[in-house]
Amino acid sequence: MARDLIREYLAYLRVEKGLSPNSVTSYGQDLSKLSIWAGSQGRGVSELNESDASVWVREMASGGLAPRSIARMISAARGLYRFLQLDGHVSTDPFANLSAPQAAQAVPRFLVEEELERLLSAPDTGDREGVRDRALLELLYATGLRVSELVNLSVSNLDLERGLLECTGKGSKQRHVPVGRSALRWLEEYLKVRTHLLCGKASVSLFVKAGGQPLTRQHVWSRIRAYASQTGLEDVTPHGLRHSFATHLLQRGADSRSVQALLGHSDIGTTQIYTHITGQRLRATYDTHHPRAREPHRGNSSEASHETPPDRDDI
């Protein structure tokens, strides 16, 4: 019974809410754990109460599960119970008054421009797959696409003449993203060799393997890891290129709302993590280059003792 209710909810997320297959799978995995735990207590999911919810969360925490993961599980459960309430399967949400543990906000890992140059130059462009890889690396950095958005691109999504790309993001939301000159040049080079990679097969996918099959998320991850290792870089992921795209735009004066639109964030709060990074770098730049940033105070000592250093958040 519990599995049927969860299946109904996952179908609702997929069909009515338009969530991506990856998101639906993630919800399914979290809710499956809730269902298994409920069964271990001799209950179905629809029979859990507020006390049960508290016990489940405490057990996850004592088992060493990270606060961020617990918060995600609670969020998945709340969504399920809202759905079950609307359909009349339950009268109350046992998670409604439960506070999720606060997770420290992770600072995204991004590459500085010198590191990006090394990574982008890593593919052997004397090879057809190398040209493809250079084009996809350039495109990831030029547009801030998620890797799932990249592998789902079709040739028709690309407008080389206008320098625009249409992609479908989370929740099936479409957006248009400008593509820079360097990425456009490498995409043009890639399209010249794409026919050879297709090996006579037809495909609407923009990026394909040798043999004509569409590139997968796993394949893109493995190629980027290989190029990162080749150039002596650590912890480089496709999402790291997305973080670099956003960070570098803000460092060069782009406003948060524009970056939000380019990234496809529904909430400006998600974008604002990057302003924290750029603020840190602005302070470091100020300290390094301003002629009086570290110059000792020349007034009398009593005045100096009451002087308050500027708050970094005000810079």
| 265: annotated active-site residue | yes
Catalytic hit among 81, 132, 134, 146: 146
Catalytic hit among 14, 170, 175, 219: 170
Q: Are 293 and 123 in contact (CB under 8 A)?
A: no
Catalytic hit among 132, 134, 242, 243: 242
Catalytic hit among 68, 72, 239, 283: 239
Beta-carbon contacts of residue 190 (< 8 Å; ≥ 6 apart): 131, 132, 134, 135
The alpha-helical segments, DSSP class H, found in 121-237 are: 128-143, 147-151, 181-198, 217-230
Catalytic hit among 82, 185, 265, 283: 265
| 242: annotated active-site residue | yes
The alpha-helical segments, DSSP class H, found in the chain are: 2-15, 21-40, 50-62, 67-86, 113-120, 128-143, 147-151, 181-198, 217-230, 238-251, 256-263, 268-271, 273-289, 301-306
| 294: annotated active-site residue | no
114-119's contacts with Cβ under 8 Å and 24+ in sequence apart are 115/233, 116/141, 116/241, 116/244, 118/231, 118/232, 118/233, 119/224, 119/227, 119/228, 119/231, 119/233, 119/236
* d(C-alpha 284, C-alpha 28), whole Å: 44
| 146: annotated active-site residue | yes
| 274: annotated active-site residue | yes
| 170: annotated active-site residue | yes
Q: Are 212 and 199 in contact (CB under 8 A)?
A: yes
Active site residue ranges: 146, 170, 239, 242, 265, 274
